[in-house]
Chains A and B, each alone.
Chain A
Amino acid sequence: MKTKFLLPPTFKYVGWLFFTLGLAMGIAFVAGWDEPQFLQAIVPDIFNQNTLGSSTPAEQAKGLKWIENNLSDELTLSFILVGVMLLMLAREKQEDELIMRLRLESILWAAIVNALLVFASTWLVYDMAYFMVMEIAMFLFYLLFVIRFNWVLWRFNHLSHEE
């Protein structure tokens, strides 16, 4: 079956590698590991408090600046995002119309569950904990899709016996 947007099946392995690496880094930093000094870098800061609160063009121009930042969290989120995207977009070895239907159903399911979780956490989680929830929410949709899609695939593969 011809498929748009999907990548070859081998990308699934690359996806797992990136995701595992990102997840390990994320857990390590949350657990209190120090950010490595070699990841300290000067980066462009294109959207900040000046950009948001300024009214004149001169003040807005101050918003675009270079700042010193440790890239640990950027790398962690990038690894996780690239990982889950590859897991989501890697084609199955036998990608047919049933698999496509399971894929679309899983996307819809992930969108609904993701929205419900974000809605619930908006009303139940506050302060810095909410900031962490929002960080997780950046890749939660993709992760929910990967979990649900692989679960229904596993069920289909194990519950359908040759007759």
Chain B
Amino acid sequence: MKNKLKQQRQLAQFTQKDLAAAIQVSRQTIHAIESGKYVPSTELALKLARELNCTVEQLFWLEE
């Protein structure tokens, strides 16, 4: 699974810490998702998309 979380976050002018606080996870979790070390649950993916004002598909997609 690939993601564009870092770009979308920077576009929305969020720091990792701010985004983490907004969706009630740790900053380390945001970092782990951005670096591809952790694939979030559906619930967390939906929360991220809502907070960054985009769709889940814009954030995450399957590798071919």
B35 to chain A: which residues have CB within 8 Å? Answer: 160
Q: Are A156 and B28 interface neighbours, CB within 8 A? A: yes
- Known: A160-B31, A160-B32, A163-B34. Contact between A94 and B17, CB under 8 A? no
List 15 A-B residue pairs with CB atoms under 8 Å apart, sorted by A's residue number. A1-B25, A96-B25, A97-B25, A97-B29, A97-B41, A98-B29, A98-B32, A156-B32, A157-B28, A160-B31, A160-B35, A161-B31, A162-B15, A162-B16, A162-B17
When the two chains form their complex, are residues B24 and A98 in contact, meaning their CB atoms are under 8 A apart?
A: no
Main secondary structure of the interface of B (DSSP, over half): helix
- Count, chain A residues at interface, CB 8 A: 13
The range of chain B's interface size is 10 to 19
B26 in contact with A163 (CB, 8 Å) = no
Tell me if B6 counts as interface (CB < 8 A to partner A). Answer: yes
Q: Which residues of B contact A (CB under 8 A)?
A: 6, 15-17, 24-29, 31-32, 34-35, 38, 40-41, 44
Of B6, B25, B38, B40, the residue contacting A163 (CB under 8 A) is: B6
A99–B28 alpha-carbon span in the complex (Å)? 10
Q: Is the CB of A163 within 8 A of B31?
A: yes
